């Protein structure tokens, strides 16, 4: 049985998640930050025949995320729910997505990793700094040109998102500039933050400067500041180069992570 989450159910959801943030980061973060007040964010609870919670489902701007602590969700119900909602993208740990993909042939699966920083192993670059609001336009201009990270969203949409995060203290942006031209050559930011945790995103280095360790240095600088605030630090990465970079900085794998995108 799948029921929409009500205000009285929120503490039960947090109790079910516990400290297992890494497998449901955006469900946890969005529910902590927005509660049930944001019309674009909705949460449902799946109960088993014993009336125990077996899954949490969230929807945010056409994307659905599923969390099942023991991977014991009721598959047929969830598949029917997904078909009714018809999301553009679906996220969960890989074992859950593997079960669902069989029934959703119209979606394409991509698998990566969700990791957590355990120990900072790479030295920060002392010249990397937390950029002020006035530098966001320059930052977004670089990210929006990247085929994998920003180009699908477009500059205007990305700029609006980055501005909102900055205003809400929901994200920060570390940059490294070239000593001669003073242009930004590397960026590493957070896509979401709470008092207790942060999620890394938007790690990118300008093409002429790649392969020189700047991404690791800038990411390490960001992580060093987040660690000083006693935050747990998480990141998603999908390609081998990103995995090597994160491991080099000190991230360890929590779980294989998959998303289904509608073809």
* Summary mean pLDDT of the chain: 92
CB 131 within 8 A of CB 225: no
pLDDT-derived band at 141, boundaries 50, 70, 90: confident
Nearest to 34 by CA among 63, 13, 60, 71: 60
Tokens for 198, please give them: 């942060």
CB 82 within 8 A of CB 41: no
By mean pLDDT, which of 2-6, 121-125, 203-207, 242-246 is the weakest? Answer: 203-207
CB 204 within 8 A of CB 143: yes
Q: Indicate the helix (H) or strand (E) that contains 61.
A: none
Alpha-carbon 69 to chain mean position: 18
Find the mean pLDDT for residues 199-217: 91
Which residues contact residue 198 at a Cβ distance below 8 angstroms, ignoring those fewer than 6 apart?
190, 192, 226, 231, 232, 233, 234
The 10s digit of each residue's pLDDT in 245-263 is 999 999 999 999 999 988 8
Q: How far apart are CA 116 and CA 235, in angstroms?
A: 6
Q: Are strands 197-205 and 107-117 parallel, antiparallel or unpaired?
A: unpaired
What is the pLDDT at residue 119? 95
Find the mean pLDDT for residues 143-154: 69
Category of 164 on φ-ψ map: left (φ > 0), alpha (ψ -120 to 50) or beta: alpha
What is the pLDDT at residue 161? 80
What is the pLDDT at residue 58? 95
Alpha-carbon 58 to chain mean position: 14
- Cα–Cα distances (Å) from 28 to 22, 88, 175, in that order, read 9, 21, 28
What is the pLDDT at residue 231? 96
pLDDT-derived band at 61, boundaries 50, 70, 90: confident
Category of 32 on φ-ψ map: left (φ > 0), alpha (ψ -120 to 50) or beta: alpha
The 10s digit of each residue's pLDDT in 162-182 is 888 888 888 999 999 999 999
Q: What is the CA radius of gyration of the chain?
A: 19
Nearest-5° angle of CA 174, CA 175, CA 178? 160
What is the pLDDT at residue 148? 65
């Amino acid at each position: 049985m799948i029921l929409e989450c009500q205000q009285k159910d929120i503490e039960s959801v947090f109790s079910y998640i516990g400290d297992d943030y890494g497998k449901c980061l955006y469900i946890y973060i969005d529910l902590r930050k927005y509660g049930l007040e944001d019309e674009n964010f909705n949460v449902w609870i799946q109960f088993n025949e014993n009336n125990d919670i077996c899954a949490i489902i969230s929807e945010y701007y056409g994307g659905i995320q599923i969390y099942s602590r023991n991977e014991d969700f009721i598959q047929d119900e969830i598949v029917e729910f997904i078909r009714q909602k018809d999301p553009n993208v679906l996220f969960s740990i890989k074992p859950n997505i593997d079960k669902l993909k069989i029934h959703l042939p119209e979606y394409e699966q991509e698998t990566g990793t969700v990791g957590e920083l355990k120990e900072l192993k790479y030295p920060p670059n002392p010249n990397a700094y937390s950029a002020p609001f006035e530098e966001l336009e320059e930052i977004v201009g670089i990210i929006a040109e990247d085929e994998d990270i920003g180009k699908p969203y477009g500059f205007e949409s990305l700029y609006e998102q980055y501005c909102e995060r900055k205003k809400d203290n929901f994200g920060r942006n570390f940059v490294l500039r070239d000593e001669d031209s003073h242009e930004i050559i590397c960026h590493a930011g957070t896509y979401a933050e709470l008092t207790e945790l942060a999620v890394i995103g938007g790690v990118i280095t300008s093409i002429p400067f790649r392969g020189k360790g700047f991404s690791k240095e800038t990411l390490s600088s960001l992580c060093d500041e987040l660690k000083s605030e006693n935050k747990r630090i998480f990141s998603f990465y999908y390609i081998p180069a990103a995995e090597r970079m994160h491991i080099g900085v000190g991230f360890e794998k929590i779980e294989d992570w998959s998303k289904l995108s509608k073809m």
